[in-house]
Amino acid sequence: MKLPNQFYRPLAIGAPAPLREPPVKVERMIHFVPPHLEKFRAKVPELVKQVDVVLGNLEDAIPADAKEAARAGFIEMAKATDFGSTGLWTRMNALNSPWALEDMIEIVGAVGSKLDVVMLPKVEGPWDIAYLDQLLAQLEARHRVTKPILIHAILETAEGVKNVDAIASASPRMHGISLGPADLAASRAMKTTRVGGGHPDYKVIADAEPGQDLRASFQQDLWHYTIAKMVDACASAGIKAFYGPFGDFSDAPACEAQFRNAFLLGCAGAWSLHPSQIAIAKKVFSPDPQEVAFARRVLDAMPDGTGAVMIDGRMQDDATWKQCKVVVDLAKQVAAKDADLATLYGF
Ligand code: GLV
Ligand code: MG
């Protein structure tokens, strides 16, 4: 274990000093682009105006024989586009794959100064973060990158879930963690064939009543435990938690429900894999204007955040004041980015 005074030292001579605080950014949706396909690259300049983060995907869903083309396509798209305040991320290949090392060497070498975050898949423990942390420092130093590139881990193995606390606090480079429900389901031997979301057979059933055939049943959330565990690990390390992919593009209500559960439990955003999911993520991860209005009333009624007041018959005290501050702070960040929502929030 590193001593605290070593934790914030650059890991290579000439690498930028690690950030003390992660940047405050609205990241409601991380939009996935397959960069080996020209058709999708051509849409990036328009996409930049609609999403909070553009991510060039190099890992799963990119065929093995297109890995080099995806890497080259990402570099081309990063060079050609002005991302403004929109984040530029890449999802590199897993550390045990034949492509991971060249992904970092080529991308940091070519566009390291434009890259905000590297998403690292299949993270099993803090040792994976330590490896990438060191490699990024060496490459930043070699290519004179002055802003540290951050790391975002995907939580998608049973071992990773077991070690999530240590992963979240492994390095000052940690940006956040996303749940990867598809790989995680396989790693745990869950008997599902879906990318996230619920399952009709994972349910509770009401007790049998004499003479009644029909018994009520309620589908349960397969991901509750993992999301809650991930959120606690991230919040205690001062980084952000995200829900990952929702694979059934035809089921917008189910996607919205999954995103909303994650939002309510503490997540900051989710992945959008299809253009239709951008609006869903924007709606869910921007606080509801009525909630914001109520939260502002609480903050106004308790200017120093102490004591107790009644508002609409509901007790408010220091703890509800803090919840309201979370909602209002997020609304202010969203409003700074989105003029329509700023009007709805009354800022
Ligand atoms: C994402 O990568 C997942 O496996 O769900
Ligand atoms: Mg995965």
Domain count, the chain: 2
Q: Which of 285, 302, 331 is the last residue of a domain?
A: 285
pLDDT digits (tens, 9 = 90+) for 139-189: 999 999 999 999 999 999 999 999 999 999 999 999 999 999 999 999 999
Q: What is the CATH number of the domain that holds 138?
A: 3.20.20.60
pLDDT value, residue 104: 98
Ligand 1 pocket test: which of 91, 97, 119, 183 has the largest number of ligand atoms within 8 Å of its C-beta? Answer: 183
Domain check: are 182 and 307 in the same one? no
Domain that holds residue 210: 4-285
Q: Which residues line ligand 1 at a C-beta cut-off of 6 Å?
A: 60, 154, 156, 180-183, 195, 244-245
Ligand 1 pocket test: which of 32, 57, 60, 152 has the largest number of ligand atoms within 8 Å of its C-beta? Answer: 60
| Number of helices and strands in the chain (H, E) | 15, 12
C-alpha distance from residue 224 to each of 160, 230, 245, 284, 285 (Å):
16, 10, 15, 17, 18
Domain check: are 295 and 153 in the same one? no
Domain check: are 63 and 206 in the same one? yes
Domain check: are 197 and 296 in the same one? no
What whole-number distance in Å separates Cα of residue 125 and Cα of residue 210?
A: 52
Band of pLDDT at residue 301, cut at 50, 70 and 90: very high
What whole-number distance in Å separates Cα of residue 191 and Cα of residue 208?
A: 27
Distance 239 CA to ligand 2 centre (A): 21
150-155/174-179 β-pairing: parallel
Band of pLDDT at residue 3, cut at 50, 70 and 90: confident
pLDDT digits (tens, 9 = 90+) for 21-71: 989 999 999 999 999 999 999 999 999 999 999 999 999 999 999 999 999
Tokens for 213, please give them: 């055939």
pLDDT value, residue 1: 67
The whole model's pTM is what? 0.97
Domain check: are 257 and 305 in the same one? no
Domain check: are 246 and 331 in the same one? no
**Protein residue with its CA nearest to atom 3 in ligand 1:** 180
pLDDT digits (tens, 9 = 90+) for 175-198: 999 999 999 999 999 999 999 999
Domain check: are 74 and 206 in the same one? yes
Tokens for 216, please give them: 């009520």
